[in-house]
């Protein structure tokens, strides 16, 4: 058995900075696993939720779940992937056997819920360790490390001419945002759409709405800079919800009617409630943002039945990653969506705590950690 040293940013407890240190991967890939030399990882607000203690997250754990890289070793039975393949990591590996996987909803995979969402592998164990204890990988990905061992179903092959920093973002924000529009809500051409929150996820909801042919895309945020970015990605109207009443302004912009679809992409109870209110009679509010553990919302059930309003959730853009990741990469390579402007900062792993500070202040879209792939990505 050989082992590999991994340089990683480790979560050691809520509200504490990540600690960059060396960990060990104890063995070559086991059955159904691949080892990925990471090229890039985005920093997503879900990592910040864990870091802030919004969610009960075990320590020690390698954070990061929005990554791309190159396969450097394969488990003996992995036949559909090869060393040298470029892959985007999925934070919901699919067992490909449960009723959700078989019926085409791998984001709801029963086994992933019981294992990856607890930050362990399908066998309930970790693959990383330090001198004293096992170390978990966030969502069984742990992309804040220069190597990641992942289930083969979590490594989605993409074309080799796509730049891996941009591709990394497809591993979470892009698929989550575009998929919420195209897969979850199935927005029709000519629709009116509201997007609340213009971060990495919300701006991709905007791109998705543009792709779907929405005629009006209203964005709301508390930052004028983010609202301007919203326009760049396709918004037709902007609302600074610090200075204007969100629901009233949406009604005014839609002849008093409300929008066909309202997407919440922050994760706050009052903005989720506002999205529900801003949806028209018969309209749909989509919860994409994720709240802290235990947070509840208040909805008037009379309005729900009387006005036939729908409130639905979207996990990972209801994606089927093996179909959606390569498709989204093609859209990018054909110039139909913009991923270049989403990478607002390229950083080293040891600058990851600064990226969280930027995110807390609402600056930039995505900081992307870039790892050294040279000279020829050696592994074991
Ligand atoms: N459903 C999913 O599968 C999924 C996947 C990834 C991320 N998420 C969640 O989506 C949310 C957004 O993630 P992100 O990475 O885009 O975050 P982000 O930090 O990049 O963006 C959040 C945006 O919200 C804005 N904002 C903050 N408070 C606001 C307020 N009160 N009113 C209006 N705007 C406000 C900020 O200015 C910022 O532009 C997070 O909760 C994250 O956990 C969900
Ligand atoms: Zn994410
Ligand atoms: Zn499954």
291 with 355, same domain: the answer is no
Task: Report the mean per-residue pLDDT for the chain.
Answer: 96
Return the ligand number nearest the Cα of 198: 1
The pLDDT of residue 380: 43
Residue 143, domain member (yes or no): yes
Residue 322, domain member (yes or no): no
Best residue among 45, 141, 287, 359 to mutate for probing ligand 1's pocket (most ligand atoms within 8 Å of CB) is: 45
Residue 329, domain member (yes or no): no
Determine phi and psi for 248, rounding to 5 degrees: -60, -40
- 102 CA → ligand 3 middle, Å: 7
Best residue among 266, 273, 274, 368 to mutate for probing ligand 1's pocket (most ligand atoms within 8 Å of CB) is: 266
Number of domains in the chain: 2
32 with 54, same domain: the answer is yes
Banded pLDDT at 375 (limits 50, 70, 90): low
CB 326 within 8 A of CB 174: no
227 with 120, same domain: the answer is no
Model confidence pLDDT, tens digit, residues 222-244: 999 999 999 999 999 999 999 99
137 with 236, same domain: the answer is no
41 with 128, same domain: the answer is yes
Model confidence pLDDT, tens digit, residues 309-366: 999 999 999 999 999 999 999 999 999 999 999 999 999 999 999 999 999 999 999 9
**How many Å apart are CA 181 and CA 172, to the nearest integer?**
14
Whether residue 174 has its Cβ less than 6 Å from ligand 1: no
54 with 119, same domain: the answer is yes
Whether residue 241 has its Cβ less than 6 Å from ligand 1: yes
250 with 364, same domain: the answer is no
The residue among 121, 79, 114 whose CA lies nearest residue 100 is 114
Model confidence pLDDT, tens digit, residues 325-341: 999 999 999 999 999 99
Whether residue 261 has its Cβ less than 6 Å from ligand 1: no
Please check the confidence at residue 83 and state whether its pLDDT lies above 80.
yes
Whether residue 230 has its Cβ less than 6 Å from ligand 1: no
228 with 263, same domain: the answer is yes
Banded pLDDT at 374 (limits 50, 70, 90): confident
Residue 89, domain member (yes or no): yes
303 with 362, same domain: the answer is no
Residue 208, domain member (yes or no): yes
Mean pLDDT, rounded, for 27-51? 96
Mean pLDDT, rounded, for 43-53? 97
Banded pLDDT at 377 (limits 50, 70, 90): low
- 290 CA → ligand 1 middle, Å: 8
Model confidence pLDDT, tens digit, residues 159-176: 999 999 999 999 999 999
The CATH number for 89's domain is 3.90.180.10
CB 307 within 8 A of CB 279: no
The residue among 59, 135, 121 whose CA lies nearest residue 93 is 121
Residue 259, domain member (yes or no): yes
Residue 300, domain member (yes or no): yes
Please check the confidence at residue 105 and state whether its pLDDT lies above 50.
yes
222 with 301, same domain: the answer is yes
Return the ligand number nearest the Cα of 289: 1
Domain that holds residue 122: 4-171+339-370
209 with 298, same domain: the answer is yes
Residue 330, domain member (yes or no): no
The CATH number for 297's domain is 3.40.50.720
**How many Å apart are CA 154 and CA 254, to the nearest integer?**
42
The pLDDT of residue 107: 98
Mean pLDDT, rounded, for 288-305? 97
Residue nearest to atom 38 of ligand 1 (CA): 199
216 with 68, same domain: the answer is no
């Amino acid at each position: 058995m050989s082992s590999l040293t991994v340089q990683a940013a480790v979560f050691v407890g809520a509200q504490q900075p990540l600690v960059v240190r060396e960990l060990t991967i104890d063995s070559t890939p086991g059955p159904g696993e691949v080892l990925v030399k990471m090229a890039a990882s985005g920093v997503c607000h879900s990592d910040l939720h864990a870091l802030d203690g919004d969610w009960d997250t075990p320590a020690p754990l390698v954070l990061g779940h929005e990554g791309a890289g190159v396969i450097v070793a394969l488990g003996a039975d992995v036949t559909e992937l090869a060393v040298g393949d470029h892959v985007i990591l999925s934070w919901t590996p699919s067992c490909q056997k449960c009723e959700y996987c078989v019926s085409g909803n791998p984001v709801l995979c029963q086994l992933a819920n019981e294992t990856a969402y607890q930050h362990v592998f399908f066998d309930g164990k970790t693959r990383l360790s330090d001198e004293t204890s096992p170390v978990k990988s966030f969502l069984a990905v742990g992309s804040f490390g220069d190597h990641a061992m992942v289930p083969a179903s979590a490594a989605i092959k993409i074309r080799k001419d796509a730049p891996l920093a941009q591709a990394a973002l497809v591993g979470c924000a892009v698929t989550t945002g575009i998929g919420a529009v195209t897969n979850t809500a199935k927005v029709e051409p000519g629709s009116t759409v509201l997007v609340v929150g213009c971060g990495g996820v919300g701006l991709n909801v905007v791109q998705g709405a543009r792709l779907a042919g929405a005629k009006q895309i209203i964005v709301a945020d508390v930052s004028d800079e983010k609202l301007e970015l919203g326009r760049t990605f396709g918004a037709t109207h902007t609302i600074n919800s610090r200075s204007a009443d969100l629901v009233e302004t949406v009604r005014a912009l839609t002849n008093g009617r409300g929008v066909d679809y309202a997407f919440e992409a922050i994760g706050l109870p009052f903005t989720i409630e506002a999205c529900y209110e801003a949806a028209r009679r018969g309209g749909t509010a989509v919860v994409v943002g994720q709240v802290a553990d235990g947070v509840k919302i208040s909805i008037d059930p009379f309005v729900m039945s009387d006005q036939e309003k729908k409130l639905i959730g979207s996990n990972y853009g209801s994606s089927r990653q093996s179909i959606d990741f390569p498709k989204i990469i093609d859209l990018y390579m054909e110039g139909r969506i913009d991923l270049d402007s989403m990478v607002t900062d390229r950083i080293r792993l040891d600058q990851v705590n600064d990226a969280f500070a930027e995110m807390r202040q609402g600056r930039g879209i995505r900081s992307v950690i870039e790892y050294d792939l040279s000279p020829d990505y050696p592994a074991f």
